[in-house]
Chains A and B, each alone.
Chain A
C-alpha cells in the first residue's frame, strides 16, 4: 500500500529526533523574560555540556510555568513572582526555593509625562498619580510575573485600575511595550526587556530604584509526587547548577557587551529578608 509506505517514511523522517530517554532530559518551565533576555541561550548549552543532560525549556508566563510544574509537567522552575512561589512551596507542590538573581522593574511613560511622575521615587505614589490623572496605562494582563507584581502594586496603592485609561494587552513584554509606545501610555517593564527595545520605543524611565520594583528570580524543584515521570534528580542538578559560582559569574557579566550594563545581579545564598 502506498499510503502505508508514506506513513512509514513520514514517521522515520519526523520521529528521527531523540524521543525517550527522559531521565537524561530536564524540563525547565520558566518565564518569557529569561528567554527574551537571551540568558538561557548562554546557560543551557553550558549546563548540557557539563552534565550530559538535555534541557527542554518551556518559556511561558510565571503563572503558567508554576501551574505546569504543580501538575508534574516540568522538573524545575525558574520564576519571578515571590508571593505566588511561596504559595506553591507552602502547598508542598514546589520544593527547595532558592534565590538566583534579580534585576528591577521600571515605570516608563511618554516623555511628555502626563501624570507628572518625573522625580517621584515611590512606585505606589506613581501609580496613584497615574490613576488620579487618568493617564493611559498598559497592563500585561497575562498572569505573568510582571503582571502579578503590577496587580500587587495597584492593590497596595489602594487603587482599582479601570478602563478606559487602563488597557490590558494580554501579550508578552515586548508586544506590550510596542502598544504602550503607540498609545503614549505608561507601563511597568523589567529593565532587561526595556533595554532590548530601547531603539524601537520612545518611552522614558520615569520611576526606578524603589524596593517594591525589585524583580527577584528563584529556582524551585518540582515535587515528584505532583505527577508521573517527574525527573526530580535532573531538576535538582539544574537548580544546583544555577547557584554554582560559575553560573553566578556568568549572570554577573551577562549583557555588558550588548547594553553596557549587566541585565541581572546574582544573589545565590541570599534570603528574601535580605532585600
Chain B
C-alpha cells in the first residue's frame, strides 16, 4: 500500500516538477501513436468504406481477415516488422530500425485493421435504403459515399479511440522495433517495463498513471465531440 501511495506522490511530482525526461517520453509516445493512428485512419477509412459498400466475390473472406486483424498481437507485428527492417531484411536499406519511424510503422500496422473494421461496421449500419434513396434523388456514386460517411462519422470516432488506445498502450512492438533507447525511442510503456526491471516501482507506477491520464484525456475529448454532435 505504501508503495502505491509513494507512486502516486511521485507521479504528481513528475508532472508538476516538469522532469524533462518524462516530458520527452510523454511527447514521443503521443507523437508516435498519434502519427500511427493518423496513418491508420488514412488507410483504414477508405478501405473500410469500400469494403462496406462494395460487393465482390471473396468479400466475406476479406471481411473475416480484417476482423482477425483487429486482434493482431502487437508482438507478432513487432517481430515481423523487425525482420523486414533488419539490415539484412528486405527493407534494410531504409535504415529506420530502432528509430521512432519504425515504431510508427509497426503501430500503424496494428491500428489499420482496427480502424478498417470499425469503419466497416459504422458504414454498414447506415441503412441501405438511405443509400438507394440518395442515388434515386440523383446523387452520383461519389456523392452517395460522401454523405454516407458523414452519416457514419459519430460511430467512426470509436475507430479513432480504439486505434489510438490500442497503440499507445501496446508494448511488444514498440520494444522490439524501437529498442527502448533512452532519449530516442523510449515510450511510456517501454519505460515502464524498464523501470520495473530496475526495481524503480514508484517511477513505473507514476508512468502508468501518466499513461492512464493521457488515454483518458484523449478519449474524453473525442467522446465530448461525439456526444455533442449526437445530442
Q: Is the CB of B87 within 8 A of A200?
A: no
Q: Which residues of A contact B104 (CB under 8 A)?
A: 10, 14-15
Q: What is the bound-complex CA distance between A173 and B39, given in angstroms? A: 38
Task: Note all chain A residues with C-beta closer than 8 A to B194.
Answer: 35-36
Q: Which of A110-118, A123-131, A224-232 contacts B (4 or more CB under 8 A)?
A: A224-232
Contacts of A174 in B (CB 8 A): 196-199
Asked whether, in the complex, the Cβ of B182 is within 8 Å of the Cβ of A57, the reply is: yes
Number of A-B contacts (CB under 8 A): 107
Specify which of B35, B87, B95, B201 is in contact with A14 (CB 8 Å cutoff). B35
Which residue from A2, A4, A38, A228 sits with its C-beta under 8 Å from B88? A228
Interface residue tally for chain B (C-beta within 8 Å): 36
- The chain A residue sitting closest to B196, CB to CB, is A174
The answer to whether A73 and B86 have CB atoms under 8 Å apart is yes
Asked if B197 and A175 make an inter-chain contact with CB atoms under 8 angstroms apart, the answer reads yes
Number of interface residues of A (CB under 8 A): 44
Cβ of A132 within 8 Å of any chain B Cβ, yes or no, is no
List, sorted by A's number, 29 A–B pairs whose CB atoms are closer than 8 Å: A6-B39, A7-B43, A9-B38, A10-B36, A10-B42, A10-B104, A13-B34, A14-B35, A15-B96, A15-B104, A16-B100, A17-B100, A19-B101, A20-B95, A35-B194, A36-B194, A36-B198, A38-B198, A57-B179, A57-B181, A58-B98, A59-B180, A73-B87, A174-B196, A174-B197, A174-B199, A197-B199, A200-B199, A229-B87
**Residues of A with Cβ closer than 8 Å to B?**
2-4, 6-7, 9-11, 13-20, 22, 27, 32, 35-36, 38, 41, 44, 56-59, 71-73, 172-175, 193, 196-197, 199-200, 227-230
